[in-house]
Amino acid sequence: MANYLEFEKPLAEIESKAEELRAMGRANEEMDIEEEAKALDKKAADLLKDLYKDLTPWRKCQVARHPDRPHCKDYIEALFTEYTPLAGDRNFADDHAVMGGLARLGDTPVMVIGLEKGFDTKTRIERNFGMARPEGYRKAIRLMELADKFGLPIITLVDTPGAYPGKGAEERGQSEAIARSTEKCLQVKVPLISVIIGEGGSGGAVALATANRLLMLEHSVYSVISPEGCASILWKDAEKMREAAEALRLTAQDLNQLGVVDVIVKEPVGGAQRDRTAAIEGVGKALKATLKELAKKKPNALVKDRRQKFLSIGSKGLAA
Amino acid sequence: MNWINNYVRPTINSLFSRRETPDNLWTKCPECGTMLFHRELKENQQVCGECGHHMLITPRERFEHLFDGGIFTEIEVPDVPLDPLTFKDQKKYPERIKAAQKKTGEKDAILVVEGEIGRTPIIAAAQDFSFMGGSMGMYVGNAIIAAAERAVATKRPFILFSAAGGARMQEGILSLMQMPRTTVAVQMLREAGLPYIVVLTHPTTGGVTASYAMLGDVQIAEPNALIGFAGARVIEQTIGEKLPEGFQRSEYLLDHGMLDRVTHRKDMRDELVTIVRMLMGMSPPVMGDLPAPKEAAETPDQPAEEK
Ligand SMILES: [Zn+2]
């Protein structure tokens, strides 16, 4: 594991000790290190379990942003077949922060749309770090309309720090694009399922996550503002992000209690970044089950239920 | 369009003023520096008579000018749980609410009312920037839904005056969820075939702009209002360059095709009446001085005196 988070440092030490020990063992055949190395492995496994058992909100933010965490593209490639990307907003450009197209989930043709952050410097720049511009949201609207026209369920995968704060984005109507995308989510007569796979950053996430069912990975976050942003405004100190993360109630567990999140998808021990395949499989299973449940609903009922879901949000408080 | 330009504000306005405005007080125009009499400012709807700068105006004061005879009735907004997340930063959220209530004399950052403008029955809502930056929390969301429901029930158009820094952070995800919730309200109006007019006032930014405030059938802004999604400072940090003069201001947005019109506050009522009556298929507006409608005048709403 190349990328340890700050709070995983003690784990990194133990794991590197075990590795050193094994390297020594390979160099010197007379040394019997296996027992000691295994003890270290066990220690590391216990520590990992312990660290992730009860992550603080701020730690969850770090896990949600982990560079090794599977991203939108990974889910699309692993879970869907016949993925056929569709591009462009027909007005200005094709925004690479938003990917989407036709695909099959099992046998079912669907429209999959997602926010992709990129995995290395080159792709991160290409994807604009997952921050969509107005044309990205307008592309999403277009794809949702297409799905609606042909009765295909829509699946959105959300992972974004937020909508892009840029000059051109403002000039081309970032707010209007987000508002229309949210509106489109509420209009479509097909099942709309969203999964927050990493970061659900404010309005830029709402635009794609206004769904019949919102699924959220165990350690992903969804918030009105980043903890750093909130801290710098309310605490006048960006370093107070731990306190802000705590106060914002941005974890899947809190959001589930508040009636915002419908399903929490379990992550492998140590987070999705430690076992990407297992994490992706977990999401696939949850998506199929949710799709099956929604397939029974009539088009008008889907619209009505979706609206009602949002109108009712706020009536459920947090458990004490 | 000058049927109402010579319209003399009925004296009834003074009955509704929240606090007595001492005549001997002056305000300096932040734009041109002219010292302006409070009374004169009030008569001009908080617009500088010298340079035309539009200052903040409270919802109540705006409505006193907007409605025939200054008469309007408040629409009740369903209560919301106070402090659903027990949010605490340097201050507790309920303390911030209480301070804002004390400062403004209002319950929250929006006022929803019904009444007549140019003999045209409407539902109107105005956000109050002086109440925690006009921020959108559950109350504001409920208010907009209540306004839309009332508009549908009474078959009236809905006019919204926006002013907000964005979502109310102290309500966390519940404030963010007002984006879809208020969008449902807009859809109710659309389906009922009722006009939804948005008047963007200074400033309207963040999640408010990115939801109901950008979904109007007609989008009007007051002059030089700041309207945008992201804050200018954040954008400058992101792109590493200075933003052009007038960026995110009404006229700039109009130039970029994001608005239908930019209209001076003194002409706003006139324009709203005209637009709404045409959209509703009503006869041309009645000319001249319009006192309060009869029914409403008999049971005047006097919220100002109660608090
Ligand atoms: Zn002035």
Identify residue A196 by its one-letter amino acid code: I
Collapse the DSSP code of B35 into the 3-class scheme (helix H, G, I; strand E, B; otherwise coil) and give the result. strand
DSSP annotation string for B54-109: B----HHHHHHHHSGGG-EEEPP-----SSTT--BSSSBHHHHHHHHHHHHSSSSS
- Please state the ipTM of this predicted complex: 0.95
- Rounded to a whole number of angstroms, the distance from the CA of A15 to the nearest CA of chain B is 38
- Per the CB < 8 Å rule, is B176 touching A250? no
| A238 touches B: beta carbon within 8 Å | no
Which residues from A are below 8 Å from B216, CB to CB?
none
pLDDT (0 to 100) of residue A28: 82
Residue of A nearest to B204 (CA): A175
Q: What is the mean pLDDT of residues A173-201?
A: 98
Is pTM beyond 0.90? Reply is yes
Instruction: Say how many residues make up chain A.
Output: 320
- List beta partners, residue B28: B35
- Rounded to a whole number of angstroms, the distance from the CA of B153 to the nearest CA of chain A is 18
**CA B288 to chain CA mean position, Å:** 25
pLDDT (0 to 100) of residue B24: 67
Q: What is the mean pLDDT of residues A284-312?
A: 97
- Are the beta carbons of B102 and B113 closer than 8 angstroms? no
Residue of A nearest to B167 (CA): A224
| B84 touches A: beta carbon within 8 Å | yes
Interface of A with B in 194-223 (CB under 8 A): 202-203, 206-207, 210, 222-223
Residue at token pair 């002059």:
B223
Residue at token pair 């102290």:
B170
Which residues from A are below 8 Å from B213, CB to CB?
175, 179
| A169 touches B: beta carbon within 8 Å | yes
Rounded Cα distance between A241 and A233, Å, is 11
Q: What is the 3-state secondary structure (H, E, C) of chain A?
A: CCCCCHHHHHHHHHHHHHHHHHHHHHHCCCCCCHHHHHHHHHHHHHHHHHHHHCCCHHHHHHHHCCCCCCCHHHHHHHHCEEEEECCCCCCCCCCCCEEEEEEEECCEEEEEEEECCCCCHHHHHHCHHHCCCHHHHHHHHHHHHHHHHCCCCEEEEEEECCCCCCHHHHHCCHHHHHHHHHHHHHHCCCCEEEEEEEEEEHHHHHHHHCCCEEEEECCCEEECCCHHHHHHHHHCCHHHHHHHHHHHCCEHHHHHHCCCCCEEECCCCCCCCCCHHHHHHHHHHHHHHHHHHHHCCCHHHHHHHHHHHHHHCCCCCCCC
- Rounded to a whole number of angstroms, the distance from the CA of B53 to the nearest CA of chain A is 24
Which residues from A are below 8 Å from B215, CB to CB?
179-180, 183
pLDDT in tens, B224-266: 999 999 999 889 988 888 899 999 999 999 999 999 999 999 9
Rounded Cα distance between A247 and A243, Å, is 6
pLDDT in tens, A117-170: 999 999 999 999 999 999 999 999 999 999 999 999 999 999 999 999 999 999
- Per the CB < 8 Å rule, is A247 touching B89? yes
- Per the CB < 8 Å rule, is B176 touching A224? yes
- Strands A263-265 and A213-217, sheet pairing: parallel
Residue of A nearest to B254 (CA): A171
Query: Residue ranges of chain B with pLDDT lower than 70?
Result: 1-24, 287-289, 295-307
- Strands B26-28 and B35-37, sheet pairing: antiparallel
Interface of B with A in 98-157 (CB under 8 A): 138, 141-142, 145
Distances in Å between the Cα of A188 and the Cα atoms of A145, A301, B217 are 7, 11, 20
How remote is the CA of residue B58 from the centroid of ligand 1, in Å? 19
| B239 touches A: beta carbon within 8 Å | yes
- Rounded to a whole number of angstroms, the distance from the CA of B196 to the nearest CA of chain A is 15
pLDDT (0 to 100) of residue B16: 45
The answer on pLDDT for A2 being more than 70 is: no
Which residues from A are below 8 Å from B184, CB to CB?
186, 307, 310-311
- Per the CB < 8 Å rule, is A167 touching B247? yes
